Amino acid sequence: MIRMLAKSIREYKMASILTPIFVVLEVVMEVLLPFLMANLIDYGVSGNGGKGDMDYIVKTGLMLVAVAFAALIFGALSGKFAAQASAGFAKNLRHDMFYKIQDYSFSNIDKFSSSSLVTRLTTDVTNVQNAFQMIIRVAVRAPFMMIFAMIMSFNVNMSLSWTFVAFIPFIAIALAIVMRLAHPIFTRVFKTYDKLNNVVQENLHGIRVVKSFVREDHEVEKFGKISDIIYKDFSKAEKIIAFNMPVMQISVYSCILIISWFAAQFIVGGSMTTGELISMMTYVMQILMSLMFISMTMVMIIMSKASGDRIAEVLSEEIDLKNTDKPLEKVKDGSIVFDNVSFSYSKNKDKLCLKNLNLTIKSGETVGIIGGTGSSKSSLVQLIPRLYDVTEGSIIVGGEDVRKYDIEVIRDNVAMVLQKNVLFSGTIKENLRWGDPNATDEDIVRVCKLAQAEDFIERMPDKYDTYIEQGGTNVSGGQRQRLCIARALLKKPKILILDDSTSAVDTKTDKLIRKAFLEEIPDTTKIIIAQRVSSVQDADKIIVMDKGRIDAVGTHEELLKNNKIYAEVYNSQQKGSEDNG
């Protein structure tokens, strides 16, 4: 995981290395301070036979001031570089993940789900960023501080130094136990938090359902149960963590008292000076405090490990749709052949949602697909632009297997209007130009006329410059569908697939769209999934899907005569409308 993430440091490697260097320099300065201080006291204040040596005080004092200033500057520099390194690292992480996701296939996206990808790109990156900053600053500072302070203290007084060396394993073991006990509880708590947030989120979105079914109490109870688990676990973990402080305090206090006892005897015995005692005391504090910091950073790092793992998962995900070595760059025509195609989303051959499909569509044909909810109509057409790969068999477009084409080429030639379609925040023009970034205004007007969208766009205050809100909430469902069709048309595709894309468009407009298709883009193969028979009845061929199989293929008249499902669908819609329509 760490190696995976470390790849994203890149141009911030310099700052990431400079930070710990300046941290170490700052530590060196800080450790020098008590040492010089001891000299100041021993040779300055109590020097000259106890009368004091002002010259020495000034000389050492100025040196001390210089050292303190140096520490200040090193410290500030390390802070600055740490900020650069961590913010840059976070930027690169987001960048790498975002780019990687752009390469994801549909099944890669399905595997993670959109909402989880969003969390990984946002919250998890922030967590890792904080941990990274912690590592290059505090996690470097504390051990170095400990080592340097240790060296200095041994330098000052060997035998006294052993006293606090004795305490280090005690503290280390105690802190390790505390962490060992608390960590699993913390990880559990964070998982429970996710659940809690999920309940809140679902209640926000589904508040009408909750209120309609009068389930407020039920929801409050559900929330309360999870809230209670968090309360219990969190309290338990924090109560354990609370032991950190007294362990530290008792160690520090014990060291002070023990050193006091022996130092008093040494000083009286003449083998030690008062200044040395004072610097010893400072080193005790420095060493034990850095141990404390080490334990704190460990907790932080461990907590962010989960986030790091989740990011690494995104980055290391194997992309299951890849270009072949020498991909074809041109699609000859819009003919499609399904050759014994089976397909399963889970790659599990027992759960096939398409079974042994055979089908031939000529270039320029109009094909209608009709079938019940869950009959795998969408799955069928999603295989054509290679949004998913077949599990068995092959799909041949323009005479070649779709897997032989460059992915971008095949998708540009097979335009698909998805069932769950999305417009993005931006003007109508900007949204349409997704189909072709170089489209002229005339091109745009032309496709909008084709998709019967021109009328309502012209009626809007800013026409083609009307701003679409996120998710396209400020246009109606029917308008949104027509904009999506126009957007797809702008690609000038060889094959156009409409996956239930006119369901919110009224029958008359629907008819006009199909008429325009027939007249204006006769060479494009058109595949139309619809629930309305009227949307497909004049197609060259209609496919009736049932439970992942092709139940029948034929023209409207043929199917009406020979196919039970088709006739039933037709009758359910046509009752009474013939004589009135």
Chain positions 401 to 440 lying near another protein, rule: CB under 8 A, are 408, 411-412, 415-416, 418-422, 424-425, 434-435, 437
Q: Name residues contacting another protein, limited to 140-159 (CB under 8 A).
A: none
Q: Name residues contacting another protein, limited to 302-331 (CB under 8 A).
A: none
Nearer to another protein (CB atom), residue 339 or residue 503: 503
For residue 366, what are the β-bridge partners?
A: 526
Nearer to another protein (CB atom), residue 169 or residue 270: 270
- Please provide the distance, in angstroms rounded to a whole number, between the alpha carbons at the two ends of the chain: 65
Per rule CB under 8 A, is residue 75 in the interface with another protein? yes
Write down how long the chain is: 581
**Min CB(115)–another protein separation in Å:** 6
Q: What burial class does residue 433 get, using C-beta atoms within 10 Å of its C-beta: 0-12 exposed, 13-18 middle, 19+ buried?
A: middle
User: Which residue, among 392, 482, 508, 487, has the nearest Cα to 444 in the 3D structure?
Assistant: 487
| Type of residue found at 269 | G
**Min CB(105)–another protein separation in Å:** 8
Element (H, E) at 340: strand 336-343
Q: How far is CA 189 from CA 231, 238, 513, in A?
A: 9, 11, 55
Element (H, E) at 500: none
Beta strands 392-397 and 426-427 are: unpaired
Of the candidate residues 1, 28, 106, 540, the single one contacting another protein (CB under 8 A) = 106
Q: What burial class does residue 561 get, using C-beta atoms within 10 Å of its C-beta: 0-12 exposed, 13-18 middle, 19+ buried?
A: exposed
How many residues lie near another protein (CB under 8 A)?
165
Nearer to another protein (CB atom), residue 300 or residue 362: 300
Region from 85-93, 175-183, 390-398, 554-562 binding another protein, contact rule CB under 8 A: 85-93
Nearer to another protein (CB atom), residue 158 or residue 268: 268
CB 129 within 8 A of CB 91: no
Region from 118-126, 156-164, 333-341, 356-364 binding another protein, contact rule CB under 8 A: 118-126
Nearer to another protein (CB atom), residue 312 or residue 339: 312
Of the candidate residues 3, 158, 268, 440, the single one contacting another protein (CB under 8 A) = 268
Q: Name residues contacting another protein, limited to 345-374 (CB under 8 A).
A: 351, 370-374
Q: Name residues contacting another protein, limited to 533-562 (CB under 8 A).
A: none
Of the candidate residues 352, 390, 468, 569, the single one contacting another protein (CB under 8 A) = 569
Q: Name residues contacting another protein, limited to 277-296 (CB under 8 A).
A: 277-278, 281-282
Query: For tokens 């109509």, what's the residue?
Result: 377
**Min CB(440)–another protein separation in Å:** 18
User: Which residue, among 297, 7, 308, 20, has the nearest Cα to 134 in the 3D structure?
Assistant: 297
Nearer to another protein (CB atom), residue 180 or residue 351: 351
Nearer to another protein (CB atom), residue 293 or residue 339: 293
**Min CB(302)–another protein separation in Å:** 18
Q: Name residues contacting another protein, limited to 158-217 (CB under 8 A).
A: 196-198, 200-216
Q: Name residues contacting another protein, limited to 12-71 (CB under 8 A).
A: 26, 30, 33, 37, 40-41, 44-46, 51-54, 57-58, 61, 64-65, 67-69, 71
Q: What burial class does residue 480 get, using C-beta atoms within 10 Å of its C-beta: 0-12 exposed, 13-18 middle, 19+ buried?
A: buried
Query: For tokens 């320029």, what's the residue?
Result: 364
**Using CB under 8 A as the criterion, what x/- string covers residues 237-256 for binding another protein?**
-xx--xx-xx--xx-xxx-x
CB 504 within 8 A of CB 476: yes
User: Which residue, among 194, 183, 203, 196, has the nearest Cα to 228 in the 3D structure?
Assistant: 196
Of the candidate residues 25, 31, 101, 178, the single one contacting another protein (CB under 8 A) = 101
- Helix%, strand%, coil% for the chain, nearest 5: 65, 10, 25
**Min CB(520)–another protein separation in Å:** 21
**Min CB(219)–another protein separation in Å:** 6
Q: Give the full edge-to-edge strand order of the sheet including 414-417.
A: 414-417, 495-499, 525-529, 366-371, 541-546, 549-554
Nearer to another protein (CB atom), residue 140 or residue 416: 416
Q: What string of DSSP letters covers 328-392?
A: B-----S-EEEEEEEE-TTS-GGG-SEEEEEEEE-TT-EEEEEE-TTSSHHHHHHTTTTSS--SE
Element (H, E) at 497: strand 495-499
Residue 554 phi/psi, 5-degree rounding, is: 175, 180
Of the candidate residues 187, 363, 503, 555, the single one contacting another protein (CB under 8 A) = 503
**Min CB(366)–another protein separation in Å:** 20
CB 382 within 8 A of CB 388: yes
Element (H, E) at 366: strand 366-371
Of the candidate residues 88, 308, 368, 398, the single one contacting another protein (CB under 8 A) = 88
Of the candidate residues 159, 470, 473, 562, the single one contacting another protein (CB under 8 A) = 470
Nearer to another protein (CB atom), residue 203 or residue 362: 203
CB 179 within 8 A of CB 299: yes
Q: What string of DSSP letters covers 405-436?
A: B-HHHHHHHEEEE-SS----SEEHHHHHTTS-
Of the candidate residues 7, 13, 95, 180, the single one contacting another protein (CB under 8 A) = 95
Nearer to another protein (CB atom), residue 122 or residue 360: 122
Nearer to another protein (CB atom), residue 184 or residue 522: 184
Dihedral, CA atoms, 329, 334, 335, 340, nearest 10 degrees? Answer: 70
Of the candidate residues 479, 524, 525, 563, the single one contacting another protein (CB under 8 A) = 479
